Amino acid sequence: MDRLDSMRLFVRVVERGSFTAAAADLELPRSTATSAIKQLEAALGTRLLERSTRHVAPTLDGEDYYRRCLAILADIEEAEGLLRDAKPRGVLRIDSHPRLTRTFILPGLPDFLARYPLIDIHLGQSDRLVDLVREGVDCAIRAGELPDSGLIARRLATIDEITVASPGYLERHGVPPSPSQLDGHLMIGFVSSRTREILPLEFMVDGRLVHKALPARVTCNNSDTMAELARLGLGLVQAPRYRFAEDLAAGRLVEVLAETPPSSTPISALYPHNRQMAPRLRVFLDWVSEAFANTKV
């Protein structure tokens, strides 16, 4: 393994925190990866990694070498792209909520793959906060306001939110005429994965955002479960309009308080700031921005 390949391997080991995961990413035997790093450390005359039974982390020298490797590899990739017809290639690992994936990404994915025949896609399906670097994810697509995570965020769209309930629920509790007249109503409590707290309902009233916490006999932390609980008539819920499009069309759910909707939700693509953006990620971000803009919901 030459020095550049050793540097690429070292960077991947640091980012993944694992010889096994880094070797799998680069399609190498683990023994080859371990031997190459030992040879690199011997050539440099310093230990780059601290190894334990559960995790691998860079030493102080390793952290400095990691940053220098990133800069060198980024310069090489840029130079090679200028000197040849560099077509985007490789495996692109995307993590997105299942409903977002089905609504906005899957319909146009065959066209994307036909346009870029050298790119393969792995789709992770979650709505938890993933560690992109440690888990080897190139890009995560997330809804809502984002914490200061050190990631680069690219805004893809802003999605309208609505308040809904089942016909059976409205028969029992009545149709609320305004956010100030919600006495006797229930909500389905959605627990934020970020704060671990139940999110209140929110309404735009005369240009001002009003929060309203209602009693919740059932709480959950999964949006698909929340939608099913709404269909079962267990309370009011709020979510993006596209989330309930089929339920509204079929009459399983009914929109209420349409004059005072929740605030709209931003959709963003997140990717690490300390990694040179690969051509495959760049073309995907351009394509997925078009996909969100062109999807009618």
Strand partners, 254: 165
- pLDDT value for 84: 57
Provide block-wise average pLDDT over 10 residues at a time, the chain (297 residues). 90 88 89 93 93 84 87 75 68 87 92 92 75 74 73 88 97 95 95 86 93 95 92 96 93 96 91 72 92 80
For 135, the 3-state DSSP assignment is coil
- pLDDT value for 202: 95
- pLDDT value for 211: 95
Amino acid at 291: A
Instruction: Using alpha carbons only, give the angle 189, 190, 196 rounded to the nearest 5 degrees.
Output: 110
The answer to whether 12 and 22 have CB atoms below 8 angstroms apart is yes
Whole-angstrom Cα distance, residue 71 to residue 65? 10
pTM reported for the whole predicted model: 0.67
The answer to whether 224 and 279 have CB atoms below 8 angstroms apart is no
Whole-angstrom Cα distance, residue 46 to residue 51? 14
- pLDDT value for 82: 59
- φ, ψ for residue 191 (rounded to 5)? -90, 120
The answer to whether 214 and 182 have CB atoms below 8 angstroms apart is yes
Q: Which domains does the chain have, with CATH numbers?
A: 3-83 (1.10.10.10), 90-159+266-294 (3.40.190.10), 161-263 (3.40.190.10)
